Structure 1
Amino acid sequence: MTIKFDALDSALLAELADDPRVPILELAQRLGVARNTVQARMKRLESSGAVRGYPPDVDLQAIGFAVHAFLGVELDQNRIDPIIETLRGFPHVLEVHATTGRADLLVRIAARSQQDLLEIIQRVHAIDGVNHTETMLALATPIGYRSLPLVDHLTHRSTDM
């Protein structure tokens, strides 16, 4: 479901990104709108599925997972669903994207060490239907996952890009 965003929605999301635990009354004061307006906007964003939740942003390196990699996985096309379900059971798998190109899946992995990563890759290779993988190590993440710049662009009709 696609919903329309406006500048207030963008500002609300920016405030929540900075401080997800901020009370609604304080949000309303920061944004210069009524508390009921903030509540209604939050309810609309959540019920539409545009906002999926407010989980903590965990620094995986800070808790011992310093090795990050992307695994391109080539597989038997008729096995894609069971392979995805198997990957869902691997706690080190952070994301899986179905892709075009040589790899059928792009799998993001966090590991404690290179040895740990090797063992995870070996487990992926052992999945029935996985034909080949290509591993790309992430040396740094200069821009992490983000969505607010796009939301801001949408709501402010920026002429950039």
Structure 2
Amino acid sequence: MVKMSGRVIVLDKVDLELISALRRDARASLSELAQKLGLSRTTVRARMERLAASGEILGFTVVLKEDVADHPVRGLMMLGIEGRGADRIVRQLNGMPAVQAIHTTNGKWDLVLELGTPSLEALDAVLSQIRRFDGVVTSETNLLLATRKSAKIR
């Protein structure tokens, strides 16, 4: 369900199939989408416009090979933070180019970072720098070996 101007928009099976088709190929034409889904072009266009207006679809993007090539070494770093230092640490992390995303969580870890660097040596330097931040008490890092699917803008 999506709330839109006080109304609740319910995503039905067709909306979910349309979103799935767009995730597979966001460049597909209205005609191609209509044919795949067994709908008219007008219906596909109207549903896409409604999904965009409701905020369910935030946009479309192009991911270039060079965008991925800039950071061939990628990893996830989980941080445990002492006390109430998370906001200060997030501010420090925001200034680091290797930190591509910062997520707060409710589990064992306080923050989960997505990191990207040009080499393992650069990643090691970033990890060391972050571990030295005042308030970081524990961390765990996992290298990302391959991406099988990604719907996010990189």
TM-based fold match above 0.5: yes
Name the one with the larger strand percent: 2
**Is residue 23–residue 151 contact of structure 2 (8 Å, CA) maintained in 1?**
no
Shift of 1:109: 0.9
Structure 2: give runs of 5+ residues left out of the alignment.
Answer: 3-8
1:135 alignment partner, one of 129, 135, 140: 140
Structure 1: give runs of 5+ residues left out of the alignment.
Answer: 148-161
Aligned to 1:12: 18
Shift of 1:81: 2.7
Distance 1:20 1:114, change over 3 A: same
The whole-number CA distance in structure 1 between the counterparts of 2:122 and 2:105 is 25
The whole-number CA distance in structure 1 between the counterparts of 2:45 and 2:64 is 27
DSSP 3-state at the match of 1:55? coil
Shift of 1:61: 9.0
State how many pairs are aligned. 146
DSSP 3-state at the match of 1:51? coil
The whole-number CA distance in structure 2 between the counterparts of 1:22 and 1:143 is 21
State the TM-score, normalizing by the size of structure 1: 0.70
The whole-number CA distance in structure 2 between the counterparts of 1:101 and 1:29 is 44
The whole-number CA distance in structure 1 between the counterparts of 2:29 and 2:147 is 31
Deviations 1:101-146 (A, max 9, x none): 442101121122121112222342454x432342323253465446
State the TM-score, normalizing by the size of structure 2: 0.72
The whole-number CA distance in structure 2 between the counterparts of 1:124 and 1:18 is 36
Moved more, 108-117 or 5-14: 5-14
Cα-Cα RMSD: 3.0
Q: Taking CA–CA contacts closer than 8 Å with sequence separation of 6 or more, which of the two structures ends up with the larger relative contact order?
A: 1
1:48 alignment partner, one of 54, 65, 69: 54
Tell me the percent identity: 28
